[in-house]
Amino acid sequence: MLEMALNNLHWKVLFDQFDPDNTGYISTEKFRSLLQRHGSELDPHKLEVLLALADSNSEGRICYQDFVNLMSNKRSNSFRQAILQGNRRLCSKALLEETGLSLSQRLIRHVAYETLPREIDRKWYYDSYTCCPPPWFMITITIVEVAFFLYNGVVLDRFVLQVSHPLYLKNALLYHPQLRAQAWRYLTYIFMHAGIEHLGLNVVLQLLVGVPLEMVHGAARISFVYFAGVVAGSLAVSVADMRAPVVGSSGGVYALVSAHLANIVMNWSGMKCQFKLLRMAVALICMSFEFGRAVWLRFHPSAYPPCPHPSFMAHLGGVMVGITLGVIILRNYEQRLQDQTLWWIFLSIYVIFVLFAIFWNIFAYSLLDLKLPPPP
């Protein structure tokens, strides 16, 4: 631990020499100069790869955390693979041009181009990915959601528009405004869906988008974005649509999909995935269709007045999480979020919103003298 701290301090001193204004970035030219000056401290093979990395950085600058990762060899698998494959220079040949790949290697390459905008990151990911652990989170959460839906379908003897069944609201998992003190409902409502069409669209989106994202960014980051969207969705309903219940995993799904789409738009020139415009259009059409279904259902006459149908505000809460926290998490591939200023800003905004919504739920309902539907 002490040796690691000393190494980091050493690299910090070197970085600051080339960053006198303390911007947190140095140009690739300065990085090359630093490598040449201190090349004797590095393995010759590693120095060659680092110089290639500097040449291939399309952004023209390197942030401090990237610098530390490179110099401390945290991505040793990538460097080792680059050396074993004939000291290939990462800037000379795009990963997309590699030939003779197996089916699994082509799949990993496809996922890299679907989710990462920089060629360096794609090659690091391609070289180091081992499918251990597999993308278990999105697969598990999907299986559980489908299992609960099938169970409710058998119990209610209904699979289409289950939400119109008189016993639907009696389930202990969905969010109901009269039962908002039961805190678990702000999360467990994702296991209840309005019907097969609601479940189907959510499952398709979270598998097509969520599984590749989890393969690249890991279960910890993806589950954080997913559940942050889920909580934001139910809290958004409790603030903006106070009389309505909430069901479905749309808050989490929309957080992942909107974060992914926002990253594609922000890095449009760097994203080399095939048919990216078509893929974006399909995702937006599916999201719009599902959101339109939710809006229609919300304002459709309820089957159990005076309680309205489930709210659509959870979708918007998920989108807001996706284009703030989600964008930062997906953009900073393999970087420590603790060192990212924008991460702390958006996380603080999210925490403030959660605290505001909690106090709103405690005091606003009584102060506004709102007439709520009776408990189920």
Mark whether 238 is an active-site residue: no
SS3 25: strand
Q: What is the pTM of this model?
A: 0.76
Mark whether 250 is an active-site residue: yes
Q: Categorise residue 107: left if φ over 0, alpha if ψ from -120 to 50, beta otherwise.
A: alpha
Arithmetic mean of pLDDT, 205-213: 91
Question: How do residues 74-133 score in pLDDT, each as one tens digit?
Answer: 544 444 444 444 334 444 456 776 777 788 888 888 888 888 887 777 877 877 788 888
Question: How do residues 178-206 score in pLDDT, each as one tens digit?
Answer: 999 999 999 999 999 988 989 999 999 99
Residue 66 has what pLDDT?
65
| 1's tokens | 């631990």
Q: Which of 165, 198, 309, 315 is catalytic?
A: 315
| 308's tokens | 């309205």
| Single-letter amino acid, residue 28 | T
Contact 317, 328 (CB under 8 A): no
Please give the C-alpha separations between residue 302 and each of 53, 171, 308, 309, 369, in angstroms, as whole numbers: 60, 17, 5, 6, 23
Which domains are delineated in the chain? 1-74 (1.10.238.10), 136-368 (1.20.1540.10)
**Rounded to whole angstroms, how far apart are CA atoms 238 and 360?**
8
| Single-letter amino acid, residue 356 | F
Q: Which of 234, 250, 258, 311 is catalytic?
A: 250
